Amino acid sequence: MVLQSLCAQNLYWDDPLGPEEQSKWKRWCKDINNLNTLGIPRCYKPINLAVTAECHHISDASEAAYGQCSYLRLIDGDGKTVFSFLLGKARVTPANKKITIPHLELNAAVLSARVSHILKNEMDIKGFLLDR
């Protein structure tokens, strides 16, 4: 979104940034550096004897962007539930045309449906229900 904002100002690649843009850029760089402390376990199936597995997709939109996250929900025989992050995608709202929030929400839902299709094809967990 920072890059989209800068492009809308018709700046050249070597033009100096204004104070507001510099602040946004520095905050973005700081946020990127903070990602080094983020840890996401890569083990999708920490339960030895999972009875069921469900793939859940969450999507949302705003005037600035839309996106989705997909999670794997595993339940064992004792009812213990574990969630694992699978995949997330985000898109910046087009700047050159006005799109309504319901339309963007629909775009986010379509993105979730596409990710669902990809995950069904890529994940190979026998006996699990990945089409919920």
pLDDT per residue, tens digit, the chain (132 aa), is 888 888 788 888 888 888 998 898 899 888 888 888 877 777 777 656 667 888 899 999 999 999 999 998 888 878 888 888 899 999 999 888 889 999 999 999 999 999 999 988 887 665 454 544
Residue labelled with tokens 């920490």: 46
pTM score, whole prediction: 0.71
Could you tell me the two tokens for 130? Answer: 């990945």
Q: What is the domain partition of the chain in residue ranges? A: 2-37, 50-122
Q: Please choose, from the candidates 99, 100, 90, 50, the residue with its C-alpha nearest in 3D space to the C-alpha of residue 72.
A: 50
Calpha distance 76→108 (Å, rounded): 31
Residue 6 CB contacts under 8 Å (≥ 6 apart), including other chains: 17, 21
